[in-house]
Every structure is written in structure tokens, then in C-alpha cells.
Chain A
Amino acid sequence: MLFQLEGSQAVARAVALCRPKIVCAYPITPQTHIVEGLGELVRSKKLENCEYINVESEMAALSVAIGSEAAGVRSYTATSSQGLLYMMEAVYNASGLELPIVMTLGNRAIGSPINIWNDHTDAMSVRDSGWIMLFAETNQEAVDLHIQAFKIAEKAKCPVMVCVDGFILTHAYERVDLPSQKEVDEFLPDYEPHISLDTEHPTAIGTMVPPEYFMEVRYLAHKRQIDTLPVVECVGTQFKEKFGRKSGGLLHEYNLEKAETVIVTMGSVAGTIKDTVDELNANGSKLGVLSIVSYRPFPKEAIREALKNAKEVIVLEKAFAVGIGGILHQEIALALQDLGIAIHSVIAGLGGRAITSEMIREYFNNKKHDNMVFLGLKEDVIDREYRPIKNSECNNKF
């Protein structure tokens, strides 16, 4: 059924349709409206047989979910930015314990300086944690990915993080199609835990693993995540069959057949890019867009296949690693390393800086692409503030 809803409310209602039995909440901007929405759904008994637990920190939020999943029930939480870092230890723990928790990440920058606005630095900081990470392009996809996430998590025995751009999606009112409870029940079976604290069959969960076995544990975690690629794809296909729209899967391809230059990106900025690409293509450009839904597991082969005919790839991302550069850029470069495609890096939208059509047009009008471009960087501020470290100072010291 169609609704005009705020992204956060839409996500809350989608999560409720998945019938979690435990929801733990600790507020952080811009995630707050999601957990507020779920709190209301639990209190008004629209989401029944669910314990809503207000906790004292993000560390506790994810830890409660770890406990409840280990005791055998479907569990959900949500966070953003600093909150994700505050629960970082538990993030690794949840995947290590193979607990299929679903968590929404309302993507936001990481301080210092403190900044509450959108970028992907938070998500990138947990890219090696063993979670499955899916990025939503629209609020419709945010809804659909949450429904898929529980299925993927429980199938893969691995937690799933659904990344939803903070403010840009979480606070935007849009049209969304929310499925009925019956449809979701048919799509998502009851949770059957693969491990559980059971008094009839006592087991120990989370034991210490010595050097004799640890490498194997890590190797298997990697192997299982790679094995999850077809699961993510298959659940996306099943979703389309059931609900009639393409949402999720590994990648979204746009105009790749005719494209010589492809912009690779993640999340909600793909929409603005597609509009701009249409405009530029109408004036003779040959541009396409590849947006990555499944960031972890990283669909290396699918990306190679999608980009094999491109002459040039531009990776536009809302995060970067200080001291080296674009993060997604490095991963794309690794995936395409022997294909002879020119790959450029564009860093954009950090800390909520708007990414506009005009910026993207300007980037393409300037034919020569530097290796790493910061879109909309204020050169005058850099000129004023930049103080190079003088070589002489170092030479004297060492």
C-alpha cells in the first residue's frame, strides 16, 4: 500500500513488519526517528510480542541484541556515526558470534570536528568487521532492504547493517509502498536460531579460541561471506517475485550498455547522479551509473562484469581514508586491476556538503580528471589554512 512517509517512519514500519522480538534503542541523530517510530509501534501494540528496551549507550544497545539473539529471538537496533564507534567492540563481537542481528545505520560523518550530517565515514569504519552491509538508494529501497536483511542475516548466520543516508533519506518524506503483514510473513519465515542458550542442551557460546584454531575461524568467516553473495542476489530476486519491484541485489546498473564512462557510487546520491547523467547524455555524453547495494560482501566479479566495457570509471564516494584516499576507489581499483580501465576518485558530500547536479556537470565539463578530486572543495579556505610542514624542520631533527 502506498504511503507518503518520512524515511525513518517507513523504516520503522518495515522493521515492525519483520516481527522482531527485541528492539533496543539508544538515540543518536539522525537515527532517532526510527527508534521513536518503533517505540510507538510497540507501545500501541501494533508490533506485538516485542520487548522494546531503552538502554544507556550504543554499547548496551548492540550488546542487548547480542544477548537476545543468543537466547534465540529476532533482534534489531539502529545507530549512527559516533554511536557505531561507541559500539565498535560489540560490532565485531556480533559477527564473530554469527548472530543474525539487523541494524540500521543512519549514515553520518564522524568527528572530530563533531558533525551531525550525512556521509559514509561511519559505515566505512566497520567495513572489515564481518557484517553484511547493504546501502539503500531511496526510502523505498530502505524499506525493502530491511525486509530482505532479516532473511539474508538468518540464512547467512551473519548480522546485516542496512545503511540509510542520514537526513537525506531518514528525514525525507517520500512515497513508499509498504507491503502487508501477510505478504511479509509469507516472504520471511519465523526465526529459527542456529545457536541458542538452551537449558536442555547447554552449550558455550563465545569461547576463547587459541592460535591453533583462530586462523581457520577467520578464514571460514571470509569464505562464508563470499558464499553469501548469491544469497543476497537470490533474496533480491525472491523479493522481486513476491513484491514486484527490483530492490536490493548486489548492484544497480544504469545505462551501462552504451556508457564509456561509468560513475560508481553508493547510497542516495545515485539519484542526483542519474538525473545529471540523463541530462549530459542528451547532449552527447556516454555516461552510466553503477551503484553498489551489497558493499559487504563485496561483489567483485559482478562489478568486473558490469564495468568490463567501460573506458573510464569514476568512483564517487562520501568517505575517504586520511593518508591514502578514496576507500571504495581502492576496492574498485583492486577489482578492475587487470582490465586496463582508467579509474578516478571523487570525494564528495563529506559532513553533509550538498552534492548538486551542477557540481557533477562541472566535473564532467572539466575534461581532464585528476586522480583524486574533492567535489566543491573551497580552495580559498585551503589556501588560507594550509601550512606545509617545512622539510628543513624534519631534516634538522633526523
Chain B
Amino acid sequence: MSNSTIGNRLSKKRNSVQSHYDRPNTLNSGHRACQGCGEALAARCAIDAAYHAAKGNIAIVNATGCLEVFSCVFPENAWNVPWMHSLFGNAPSVATGVAAAMQVQGKNVRVIAQGGDGATTDIGMGTLSGMFERNDDVLYICYDNQAYMNTGVQRSSATPVLARTATTLPNSIYSGNELGTGKNVPEIAIAHGIPYVATASIANIKDLEEKVAKAINIKGAKYVHIHVPCPLGWGYPTSETIKIARAAVECGMFPLFEAENGKIVGSTPIETVKPVEEYLRLQRRFAHLFGKNANPQAVEELQKIASANIEKYKLSGGIVNV
């Protein structure tokens, strides 16, 4: 794993797929994503990397959600690869069917299912677990923007505690999304014992590409969970998507790690661990924790979560500055 980003052209070996002049452009320009969309960026990087690693032999099943809606409204289509959308909660099952059909026809086509956190951690959890348990030959990519953005920013089971969403509005009784809630799907994936699980961030495109490229050619069920900030839902200027993604990684709120066959095999150390407050202050969804009704206790709770991640995934490779 490496921390290099786009550019870094000095070493050809370390070039990212995105930095290459003939990148595949699997998700082409002209789609309808919001300015600064983290999901669009992640999808383009991930699918380009998969396309590159599988020599173009990929097919995609997309769950309902932002990505599906902005990339494919009839009569337009931004995908340059075979792509299908069925429903919100069934992308893993549909992908199972596609993969089985490819196998029975003797076609070497690598199958990807993808969706947002709502499709993955909530409504599609049953079908995802089934796909994992059967070890079907599918790479599932979750683009986690931590709420139902397509419907107007409602809470999902991936929404961080204390965050504001349209259905967890802070008031005098509640401080955003309730403490003690949420679902850690990468860990659930690991518990299935599938061949490969990884988390990735669009702040580290080279790392993201490497993980997807590794995953796509592994036989069996694979899961890559990508942290994708959403300017609209999180409340920040559209130019700051990467900055926010990086802040989440650097404070430990979004740990980067890999697991194989049920065991964590590595994580990306943070060079300089930053306080979680720096990440929170960048986003309006946490604004109620600061200012005139500041809630330092809540910030402390979030810091505990980040610190626990740093300990659990052994992220403090550099200077810890908490």
C-alpha cells in the first residue's frame, strides 16, 4: 500500500490508472452527479481500476441510488461497460446471477455489484450476506456517503453517531444521530470469512485502485468499502471533497485496512494523527456540536470512536497528535 496520489509520474510503476493518458473512462463525463460528488469520483476510479486489472472483462450490477440515477437516465448512459440496474435491495443477488451465468457460459467476465451505504448496509444487507456466505464470484463495492443522499439525506445504518440528517435533526433533546447505533459492514464482511475485504478512501486513489485491482481477480466474494464525502449531505463547499475524505482518514474516523479469509492482514498507518474535531468542524452535519450550543462531550464521544479505531486497526504509525 502506498500514500501516493494522482501524479507521481516519476515512477511508472507507481502511476495510478487515473493518471494514465489512456485511462478507460468507464464512467464517462456528462453524467448528472452534483459538483464535488465523492461517489462519482470513487466509482470512476474503482471501475477504471477494475477494468484495467480485468483487461476490460467486467460487468456491473448497480443498486438503486445516487450513482444509478445520475449515471443512467434514459436515453443517456454514462457507462462504457456492460451495466445493469434492477432494484434497491437486490444488487448482490443479481450479481450472483450474472456471475453464475458467465461461468456456465464459459465467459471470463468479472462481476461487480455496487451501491451506496443504504443499499449495502440497510436494505440489501440480506442479499449481501447471502452472496458472501455462498462465496459467489462477485466484487461488491460500497460507496459510503453515510446517509440516503438520493432521497434527501436521511439516516442510514452507516450514518455516524451525532451527525445531523433530515431524520436525525438535532434539537434540545437529541444531538443528531443517536450514540450507540450504526453497523460496521466491513467487519460483518470479514466475519463471513470471504477471501478479501478492504476499506478505501478517495483521498488515497492509488491505494483505492490497488485494492480494487487486487479484489477483481480474486475468485469468490470480495468487499471494498469506500468512504465518499457528499457536499450536499454533509454540508461543505464542493471543492473540499478530497480534503474532507483525507481528514476522516487522518483522524481515525475512517480506518483503511485489508482482510483476507476472515483476518485483518494490514492497515494504512496515519502519518500524523489529527484530532477528530478538525474533521468535524469542516462539515455542517456536525455544526450543532460547536458554536453557541457547543457539546464538547459529544465531540469527546466521537474522539473515543476514532481513537478506538486507531488502536484496533494499528493506525498510529506516525506521530499521534491528539
Contact = CB atoms under 8 A, between A and B. Distances in A.
A and B touch in the complex (CB under 8 A): yes
Contact of A63 (B59, B99, B127): B127
Contact of A207 (B73, B95, B99, B101): B73
Nearest to A201: B82
A283 interface: no
B94 A210 contact: no
Interface stretch (B128-136, B153-161, B187-195, B232-240): B128-136
B105 interface: yes
Interface size class of A (residues with CB under 8 A): 35 or more
B56 interface: yes
B101 A71 contact: yes
Given A71-B59, A90-B86, A204-B79, A50 B104 contact: yes
A67 B109 contact: no
Contacts of A22: 97, 100-101, 104
A267 to B, nearest CB: 30
B104 A73 contact: yes
The main secondary structure of chain A at its interface with chain B is mixed
Interface string B58-84: 110100000011001111010111111
Contacts of A71: 59, 97-98, 101-102, 105
Interface in A58-75: 59-60, 63-73, 75
Contacts of B77: 203-204, 207
B126 interface: yes
B127 A199 contact: no
Given A22-B97, A71-B97, A66 B86 contact: yes
Contacts of A51: 100-101, 103-104
A282 to B, nearest CB: 54
A49 interface: yes
Contacts of A382: none
Contacts, number: 156
Interface centre among B58, B85, B95 (most CB of A within 10 A): B85
A22 B61 CA distance: 18
Contact of A90 (B59, B74, B81, B90): B90
Nearest to B79: A204
Contacts of A69: 97, 101
A388 interface: no
Interface string A76-101: 00000000000001100100010000
Interface residues of B, number: 43
B201 interface: no
B18 interface: no
B96 interface: yes
B93 interface: yes
B57 interface: yes
Contact of A53 (B56, B74, B126, B134): B134
B98 A67 contact: yes
Contacts of B81: 199, 202
B97 A93 contact: no
B265 interface: no
B294 interface: no
A206 interface: yes
Contacts of A203: 77, 82-83
B131 to A, nearest CB: 8
B6 interface: no
A90 B94 CA distance: 10
A358 B90 CA distance: 48
Contacts of A70: 84, 94, 97-98, 101
Given A55-B134, A60-B90, A93-B86, 17 more contacts: A21-B101, A24-B97, A51-B100, A60-B96, A63-B97, A64-B100, A67-B101, A68-B101, A70-B97, A75-B97, A90-B87, A197-B83, A199-B58, A199-B81, A203-B77, A205-B83, A207-B85
29 contacts: A21-B101, A51-B100, A53-B97, A55-B96, A57-B126, A59-B90, A60-B130, A63-B86, A63-B87, A63-B94, A64-B94, A66-B86, A67-B61, A67-B94, A67-B97, A67-B99, A68-B100, A70-B94, A75-B97, A90-B86, A197-B59, A197-B84, A199-B57, A199-B109, A204-B83, A205-B85, A208-B68, A208-B74, A210-B73
Interface of A: 21-22, 24, 49-51, 53-57, 59-60, 63-73, 75, 89-90, 93, 97, 197-199, 202-210, 213
